[in-house]
Amino acid sequence: MGEGKGRTAHRQSRVPPGRTGAFLGLLYGLSATGTSAATVTVPQLGAAFGVGHSAAAWVISSYAVMLAVATPLHGRLADAAGLRLPLCIGIVVMAAGAIGSALAPGFPFLIVARVVQGFGAASIPVLATALVTTLLAGSGRSAALGRLAGVAGTFSALGPVLGGGLEQLGGWRLAMALPALGLLAVPVLAKLAPAGGTGERIDRTGAVLVAVAASGLVLLLQSPASGAVTAVVGLALLTTGTPAIAAWVRARPDGFLPRRVVTNPGVLRCAFAAAAVPASWFGLLVGVPIAAAGWGWTPLRIGLLMVPAALAGFLSPRVARQALGRLAAPRAIAVACVLTAGALPMAAVAVQTRLPVLLAVAMMLLIVAFGIGQSALIAAVDEAVATTDRGVAIGIATLIFLTGASIGAALAGGLADVTGLPAVFCLLVVLPVAGLAVLAARVRTAAGNGEKMMMTPNPDDTGRRP
């Protein structure tokens, strides 16, 4: 045991926080371009396959759904097999899906390829952050997490510019192939990421139930534009999957969703609150190209509208570090929710009045909120659970976080033609406000118990870091 801890400490001392965070942030951001770079090409690929806007929006929604539902599976795979194998295989699968999307001969093939791409890309958010918490400790970990979130947000924000530029150079197929560049990271990760895990078997039933319920939610949100069949299927999946998950957690408390993690109030409150940020960000990623295309803008010009947000992303690591240095993780999440709640009405006004500058400011606020929220959520989860539960806890928290992204994308794609984008953005304000309410309830509970505003560990957890 002592020798193992010595090797871990030696490894931590050799890992540069800044470069590690930046490298993993680039990889994280590259997976996010599966959405951000694709959004500006949706009208073009829809025209190429002869499908309408609501059908073409499934190119974004199908990827976002799989990105969310596969996240905890990768977390459990990492617990069982170590970080190296699931992360490297996930990147290869993501690249294969991106290449398949670029070469798709028909629209159904494209959707299948996007699902495959999303499954592989889902390994990156949870395992990249888990890799940081494994390799680094203390202030180095906080610095790396902040750099990771900032670089990821910046690269994601540049996705529309890259997608628009690639579309202009070689059409939408070239833009869809962009995430295949992740293959370049595999040799580095094969050396950097540790191998070896517990060897436990994966609870496949639990994984399927989570996928069913999460898919049902997103299908239901997409249904206003997709029709009654989508609504019925989504409602059926959600209403059967949700109680089935609850029953399975009771029957298998150490299964895919460990009861000690999914009932941990610190993990759940912070994850639900933080999920408002990606919901709003993805809502804008889908909604802004729709609005700007209506103004007659080209994909490249739409992408250039995101450049100020990308520049703001460079500042978010420093802002995130300062927030986590001065505030407990839940309070930092609250700051992200406040920024998000302010940015959404601004975006609604900008779309309604056709003010691109105001829209760019709103997106700048959201990218800063994303950097703070992502870093604070990982820090909160890391404090809340035992070391042995870190991988699955980060996976569950990231599932909730990215389900927010799926909700935002589905709402924008499903309601844009029904209610108009300003109404969609105003509707999304409910999420950060609800997040603030959840965090405020945590503050009142902690104050009533005479506790500090921090995550409260389960009393039966062992193996916790000090």
CATH code assigned at 163 = 1.20.1250.20
Residue 10 has pLDDT above 60, yes or no: no
pLDDT band at residue 355, thresholds of 50, 70 and 90?
Answer: very high
pLDDT band at residue 409, thresholds of 50, 70 and 90?
Answer: confident
Collapsing DSSP to helix, strand or coil, 82 comes out as strand
pLDDT at 170: 86
Left, alpha or beta for 414 (phi > 0: left; psi -120 to 50: alpha)?
Answer: alpha
Note down the domain range covering 335: 15-448
Token pair 């870091």 in the structure block, residue: 465
Residue length, the chain? 466
Tell me the mean pLDDT in the region 159-188. Answer: 89
- Answer whether residue 8 is part of any domain: no
Residue 457 has pLDDT above 70, yes or no: no
- Answer whether residue 4 is part of any domain: no
Between helix 307-326 and helix 138-170 the angle, nearest 10°, is 170
pLDDT at 25: 86
d(CA 298, CA 41): 10
Of the chain, the percentage scoring pLDDT greater than 90 comes to 23
pLDDT at 1: 39
* Residue 224 vs residue 73, higher pLDDT: 73
- Answer whether residue 464 is part of any domain: no
Of 181-190, 209-218, 262-271, highest mean pLDDT = 181-190
Q: How many domains does the chain have?
A: 1
Residue 178 token pair: 């962009």
- Answer whether residue 213 is part of any domain: yes
pLDDT in tens, 112-165: 999 999 999 988 877 887 888 788 777 777 778 777 877 876 777 778 888 888
- Answer whether residue 466 is part of any domain: no
pLDDT band at residue 461, thresholds of 50, 70 and 90?
Answer: very low
pLDDT at 225: 62
- Answer whether residue 462 is part of any domain: no
With beta carbons less than 8 A apart as the criterion, state whether 143 and 18 touch: yes
Token pair 């869809």 in the structure block, residue: 176
pLDDT in tens, 193-209: 877 766 567 777 887 88
- Answer whether residue 195 is part of any domain: yes
With beta carbons less than 8 A apart as the criterion, state whether 345 and 329 touch: no
Residue 286's nearest CA partner among 381, 413, 159 is 413
pLDDT at 289: 79
Token pair 């094969």 in the structure block, residue: 190
pLDDT in tens, 293-306: 788 888 888 888 87
- Answer whether residue 455 is part of any domain: no
pLDDT band at residue 3, thresholds of 50, 70 and 90?
Answer: very low
